Chains A and B, each alone.
Chain A
Amino acid sequence: MPGTEPVPGPPEPAAPGAPALAGAPARADDVIHDIGFRHYDGTRNGRGWVVRSLLVETVRGVFGLGRPARSKVMPWALIGILLVPPVIIALSILLTHSTEPPISYTQYPGAMQLVVVLFVAGAAPYCVSRDLRHGVMPLYLSRPMRRSDYALAKFAGLAISLFAVLALSETLLLVGALLAKLSVGHQLAGWAGGVLTVAVLALVLSGISLVVAAFTPRRGLGVAAIVTGLLMVSGIVQMLVAIADQKGYATLASYLPALNPFSLVDGIAVRLLGVAPTDNATYPAGAPGLLVFTAVAIVTVGASLAVLVRRYRKGGGV
């Protein structure tokens, strides 16, 4: 075989016949041995592994791992911001000797709305539009997975990343409360409710932002569209609720928050866990309210996934 030196062994050890310097450390990178192209007869994992790999890569990429330093700035700065309030809250509990944190576990993500939106807006375009813009899709589609697998892996990757960040801040809030010597059982129950809430929030926000990102191939445009979209919806819904309240449509006013992801999830938490609502919002009472809000959340996530899968069935270059 031309260009091949049949060296029986991995390339790392010093070449046989090379002057062996006794005691000198092996400088493996000094010489490159061409041992020819090696074939692979080991296991080839199936679709499950492939999708999992894509999911892991997505999570890594969201946090800028394996990407240049400037890709790490935004996510980690926002994570830093998200982690400061728990410290302040813990201090405030200690100073005021109160028995409850000034903000509940379920209210916390809503209070940090801007930071959460910025995080997901920065991450979602990376997840999908990068591959569309640089034409990477053919490299994925020519591998043993289906088109919908790609969309699902990206969705799961973003949702897990967002959940990790939110759950971490919930946990820090718990740590702060426990350090301030609040009742452990009570705080743990609150924390569990908070984690459940952010899990739903992560799913809903990921679905919506991925759909927006998948249709805005330019990264900057995607970020802007997601930020303005989510914040504007929040503002408009608040306005509509106020108007409906004033005009005396109380029932309508209580259902309208379902249109804003943050109040939608808050509403579910309030009805499901019996916690206090964010900003004294009113949500529809009883089981019908819970049912409607939960249905809206499920439909939102389901529709987002359907649109994403459709988007990649059509697009992608191959």
Chain B
Amino acid sequence: MDPLGGGRAIGDAPPTGPAVVAESLTRTFGPVTALSQLTVEMPHGVVGLVGANGAGKSTLIKILLGLLPPTSGRAQVLGLDCATEGLAIRQVVGYMPESDCLPPDVSATELVVHLARMSGLPSAVARERTADTLRHVGLYEERYRPIGGYSTGMKQRVKLAQAIVHDPRLVLLDEPTNGLDPAGRDEMLGLIQRISTDFAISVVVTSHLLGELERISDHLVVIEDGVLQRSTSTADATQLSGVVLVEVTDGVAELAALLRAAGAQVADDGGAHTFTVELAGEWVLDAIQDGAADLGVGLVRMQRRRHHLTEIFRPEQEGAHARH
């Protein structure tokens, strides 16, 4: 970590307790239920909050910022109560809104300095940190030009900069990759990962695309129609799966038939020399080796596959699409 940094460094003073806690959080708007009995804990690190548009992600963020009182239940951010300690929360939390929120007639530097002061930083510190932060998000010479002339990617960087300029302990990013092209998306995701690993700021990032969050998240929370679908650490979710990929030089059909006869679940994965086998027990691995030896074919590889998050969540996602 940064030797100058002082203060928090990774491994130095690991944040204790979860970053965000919600207990039976419910929020209704008239007849519409935006959040329903949401109970979830989000650890420090990068937490991906996934859900279709209208799933309740933005409502949750507003409650966490202390801007919207929950109808019932309670929520805590960094140990601070969202209903009563909103000011204290907003001092140590950064927020990047999903919508366009930048006035076009000021430069990025002007705006971020102003917003840094609005987060409570003294003027001199605000100026210094603005220069640093804009550099960290990749804005250089253009930071002195009015924001009106920026590309979408540059605007997203300004939005990100204003969220981290006051060195928050947690930053809430609402759909940060919206409107970005694939390259810009990758850069933004890289930046978000750096915020957690290099800057030691915990991140809650929302998206309706699971695929992109999967890459950078340590933990994933899926909500749909205001209801918690799943809360899982990415490491758990992508554990070794119970499937073995088998590649042989020849005789795929014969070996598969042999294994089926032995009682193994064999699936054709479309490759000319490969197939997959459900790993029901150690005997399956033995059966593959023995079978290959008996048939006299070369066994090129036996590989245990990892789960892909998209596979796990697919049923929910399809359900969401069907309903909307």
A130 contacts B103, CB within 8 Å? yes
- For B115, list chain A residues within 8 Å (CB): 139, 143
B121 contacts A44, CB within 8 Å? yes
Q: A39-B200, A40-B167, A317-B99 are in contact. Are A4 and B117 (CB under 8 A)?
A: no
- How many residues on A have C-beta within 8 angstroms of the other chain's C-beta atoms? 47
- For A15, list chain B residues within 8 Å (CB): none
> What mask results when residues 225 to 257 of chain A are scored 1 for a CB within 8 Å of chain B, else 0?
000000000000000000000000000000000
* Interface majority SS (helix, strand, loop, mixed), chain B: loop
Instruction: Please pick, from B97, B104, B194, the residue contacting A317 in the complex, using a CB distance under 8 A.
Output: B97
Q: A281 at the A/B interface (Cβ < 8 Å)? A: no
* Candidate in B91, B146, B194 with the most chain A CB atoms within 10 angstroms: B91
> What mask results when residues 46 to 64 of chain A are scored 1 for a CB within 8 Å of chain B, else 0?
1101100110010000000
Q: A136 at the A/B interface (Cβ < 8 Å)? A: yes
Instruction: Please pick, from A53, A130, A135, the residue contacting B114 in the complex, using a CB distance under 8 A.
Output: A53
Whole-angstrom CA separation of A32 from B132 in the bound complex: 11
- For A131, list chain B residues within 8 Å (CB): 103
Q: Which residue of B lies closest to A65 (CB)?
A: B110
- For B200, list chain A residues within 8 Å (CB): 37, 39
> What mask results when residues 82 to 119 of chain B are scored 1 for a CB within 8 Å of chain A, else 0?
00000110110111010111111110001000110111
| Distance from B101 Cβ to chain A, minimum over Cβ atoms (Å) | 5
A134 contacts B102, CB within 8 Å? yes
Q: A19 at the A/B interface (Cβ < 8 Å)? A: no
Whole-angstrom CA separation of A2 from B197 in the bound complex: 9
- For B2, list chain A residues within 8 Å (CB): 1, 4, 6, 35-39
Instruction: Please pick, from A2, A42, A142, A144, the residue contacting B198 in the complex, using a CB distance under 8 A.
Output: A2
Q: Which residue of B lies closest to A153 (CB)?
A: B118
B91 contacts A136, CB within 8 Å? no
- For A45, list chain B residues within 8 Å (CB): 120-122
Whole-angstrom CA separation of A41 from B200 in the bound complex: 14
- The range of chain B's interface size is 35 or more
Whole-angstrom CA separation of A49 from B114 in the bound complex: 12
Instruction: Please pick, from B97, B106, B199, the residue contacting A138 in the complex, using a CB distance under 8 A.
Output: B97
Instruction: Please pick, from A32, A34, A53, the residue contacting B117 in the complex, using a CB distance under 8 A.
Output: A53
A1 contacts B1, CB within 8 Å? yes
Whole-angstrom CA separation of A263 from B30 in the bound complex: 47
Q: B319 at the A/B interface (Cβ < 8 Å)? A: no
A68 contacts B105, CB within 8 Å? yes
Whole-angstrom CA separation of A298 from B114 in the bound complex: 32
Instruction: Please pick, from B62, B97, B104, B122, the residue contacting A43 in the complex, using a CB distance under 8 A.
Output: B122
- For A38, list chain B residues within 8 Å (CB): 2, 4-5, 129, 132, 167
A134 contacts B87, CB within 8 Å? no
Q: A145 at the A/B interface (Cβ < 8 Å)? A: yes
Q: A215 at the A/B interface (Cβ < 8 Å)? A: no
Q: A67 at the A/B interface (Cβ < 8 Å)? A: yes
What are 11 A-B contacts defined by CB distance under 8 Å?
A: A3-B194, A37-B198, A42-B122, A44-B120, A50-B119, A53-B114, A67-B106, A138-B97, A139-B95, A139-B115, A143-B120
Given contacts A39-B167, A40-B129, 15 further A-B contacts (CB under 8 A): A32-B135, A37-B2, A39-B5, A39-B200, A40-B121, A45-B122, A66-B106, A130-B103, A134-B100, A134-B104, A137-B101, A141-B65, A142-B65, A144-B90, A317-B99
Q: What residues make up the interface of A, taking CB atoms closer than 8 Å to B?
A: 1-4, 6, 8, 32, 34-47, 49-50, 53-54, 57, 66-68, 71, 130-131, 134-146, 317-318
Q: What residues make up the interface of B, taking CB atoms closer than 8 Å to A?
A: 1-8, 62, 65, 67-68, 87-88, 90-91, 93-95, 97, 99-106, 110, 114-115, 117-122, 125, 129, 132, 135-136, 146, 162, 166-167, 194, 198-200
Give the top 10 A-B pairs by smallest Cβ distance, nearest first: A142-B95, A39-B7, A36-B2, A44-B120, A37-B199, A40-B167, A53-B117, A138-B97, A144-B91, A45-B120
